[in-house]
Amino acid sequence: MIRVVLPAHLRTLARVQGEVKLNLEGQVTQRSVLDVLEFHYPMLRGTIRDHVTHQRRPMVRFFACQEDVSLEPPDALLPDAVATGAEPFLIVGAIAGG
């Protein structure tokens, strides 16, 4: 069981409260987590990563185990604590503006 924390605007869009829990078979990477997240919540497609290139949107960041993993390759393995559900995978809207 993977736990994903969405930013408030995307929780509203996906009509969820609190964490999202996802079953994921195979390797736990940014790509596989986002694939299964978008499968269950199609309205999130295009809001976290580009529809075509799958590149992370510029003002979205990913955190795992208190580390910013946004710049890690999308197929890099996420920490075991995320893969086991001990820690959540956080999708964060970057703090920007004045």
Partner 1 sequence: MSKVRVLVGTRKGAFILSSDGNRKKWDVSGPHFAGWETYHMKGSPTEPDRLYASQTTAWFGQIIQRSDDGGKTWETPGGEKMPDPYGPPAGVSNKFVYNTSPETGKPLTTHLWYDGTPRPWEFKRVWHLEPSLTDPDTVYAGVEDAALFRTTDGGKSWRELAGLRGHTSGQQWAPGAGGMCLHTIIIDPSNHHRMFVAISSAGTFRTDDDGTTWKPITRGLHSLYIPNPTAEVGHCVHRIAMHSARPRVLFMQKHWDVMRSDDAGESWREVSGNLPTDFGFPIQVHAHEPDTIYVIPIKSDSEHYPPEGKLRVYRSRTGGNEWEPLTKGLPQRNCYVNVLRDAMAVDSLDPCGVYFGTTGGQVYASADAGDNWAPIVRDLPSVLSVEVQALP
**Does 21 sit near partner 1 (CB under 8 A)?**
no
**Does 40 sit near partner 1 (CB under 8 A)?**
yes
Taking residue 57's Cβ as centre, other Cβ atoms within 10 Å add up to 13
* Of the residues 43, 76, 81, 86, which one makes contact with partner 1 according to CB under 8 A: 43
Q: Which residues pair with 2 in a beta bridge?
A: 22
Q: Per CB under 8 A, which region of 21-29, 41-49, 64-72, 78-86 contacts partner 1? A: 41-49
DSSP 49: B
Q: Return d(Cα 39, Cα 45) in angstroms, integer.
A: 9
Which residues of this protein are in contact with partner 1, per CB under 8 A?
7-10, 12-13, 39-43, 45-48, 51-52, 57, 59-60, 93-94, 96
